[in-house]
Structure 1
Amino acid sequence: MNNIPVTAFGAKALEAALLKLKDVSRPRIIEDIRIARAHGDLKENAEYHAAKEEQSFVEGRIKEIELKLSRMQIIDVTKLSQDGRCVFGTTITLMNSVDNSEITYQIVGEDEADISLDKISCHSPIASALMGNEEGDKVIVKAPKGDIVYKILSVEYYI
C-alpha cells in the first residue's frame, strides 16, 4: 500500500476526528439504540433504524480514518531543503499572467484540502503543475475554461 502524505497539522486533525468518533459519537449512538429498543417492535421503529444506520456510517468512518492513520507519512515542511522548489507542504504565492491577480495556496494532503482556507490537494491540477518548479518559474495549469498561466512569486516553508 502507498503512503498517504499529510502535514503535521493534518495528522492531528485526523487523530482528533477519530477520537471524537470513538469517544463521543459511538457512545451516543449506542445509547440511542438502547433507547430505541426500549420502544418495542424493531420492525417499524424508525428511531432504531436511523440509529443503526448512523452507527454503520460512524463505524465505517472510524475504519477509514484508522487505515489512513496507519498509512500516513507525516511531512514536516520546516525540515525540507528550502531551495525555493514547490513541494508538498509549501505555501506558494502565484500571479495570474492575465490579470496580475495574486493567490496563495498551501499544497496539502487530500484530507486536508480546503479551498476556503487556500489549502489545495497535492493531487489537484494546480498542485501537479506547481510541483518541482521554483520561484520565478511560469507554470501552465489545465483548467476547464482553458489553460491558465501563473508565475511563482514565492515559495515558503512554514507550517
Structure 2
Amino acid sequence: MASKETILTAEGLRKLKEELAQRKGEIREEIVERLKEARAQGDLSENSEYDQAKEDQGKNEGRILELEQMIKTATIIDDSASKAAGIVSLGSTVLLKDVETGDEETYTIVGTTEADPFENRISNESPVGAAILGCKVHDVVVTKTPVGELSYEIVEIK
C-alpha cells in the first residue's frame, strides 16, 4: 500500500525531527530506567509501575514509527510561485474578513499534520482552508462549517 504524503512547512519538518530525536533519546531512556526500577521491585504480575512503564513504552515506540513515516513521506510546501501570482496556496498566510460581521482573522494554510486552530494554522482540508485555496485578494468565498454557512472576503495574502 502506498504511503500518503505528509505536507509540511520547513518549520514543521524541523519540529517532527526534534520530537523524533527526543523520543528516541531521553524519553526512551527514561522509560527504560522506569522499567528497570519496576523489575527491581520483584513480582511483576501486580506491579502497576511496571504495567504503566510498558504501556508508555508501547505508546512511545508507536509514535516513533509514526514520526519516521511522516518524515519519510514529507513534502515541503513551496508557495513562492503562488505568492508571486497572489493566489492562496499551502503555506500562505491570509487575512480574511467575515462578510456578515466584519470581523477579521488571519490564518496560515498548512497540511493536516501541522494544523492548530488555536495558533490560527488551519488545514488545507478544513472547510475554510479548502474554500480559499486558489483564490485571490477581494475574492469572496462561501463555505459550510459546523456552525453553518459563512462568507469570507480575502483581504490580504502574505
Specify every segment of 5 or more residues in structure 2 that has no aligned partner in the other structure, as ranges.
Answer: none
Q: Is the 8 A contact 1:141 1:147 kept in 2?
A: yes
The residue number in structure 2 matching 1:8 is: 10
CA-based RMSD? 1.0
Give aligned-pair identity as a percent: 38
Partner SS, residue 24 of structure 1: helix
The residue number in structure 1 matching 2:85 is: 83
The residue number in structure 2 matching 1:109 is: 111
Distance in 2 of aligned mates of 1:63 and 1:130: 33
Shift of 1:76: 3.3
Q: Please give the residue correspondences for 1:61-76 in structure 2 after superposition, counting only pairs within 5 Å.
A: 61-76=63-78
Distance in 2 of aligned mates of 1:104 and 1:9: 19
Runs of 4+ in 1 over 2 A off after TM superposition: none
Distance in 2 of aligned mates of 1:150 and 1:114: 20
Q: Please give the residue correspondences for 1:113-128 in structure 2 after superposition, counting only pairs within 5 Å.
A: 113-128=115-130
Shift of 1:115: 1.3
The residue number in structure 2 matching 1:54 is: 56
**Code of the aligned partner of 2:65:** K
The residue number in structure 2 matching 1:42 is: 44
Partner SS, residue 151 of structure 2: strand
The residue number in structure 2 matching 1:33 is: 35
Which of 129, 153, 156 is the matching residue for 2:155?
A: 153
Shift of 1:83: 0.9
Partner SS, residue 80 of structure 1: helix
State the aligned residue count. 155
**Code of the aligned partner of 2:74:** M
Q: What is the TM-score with the length of structure 1 in the denominator?
A: 0.94
Partner SS, residue 85 of structure 2: coil
Distance in 2 of aligned mates of 1:141 and 1:50: 45
Q: Is the 8 A contact 2:110 2:122 kept in 1?
A: yes
Distance in 1 of aligned mates of 2:4 and 2:146: 29
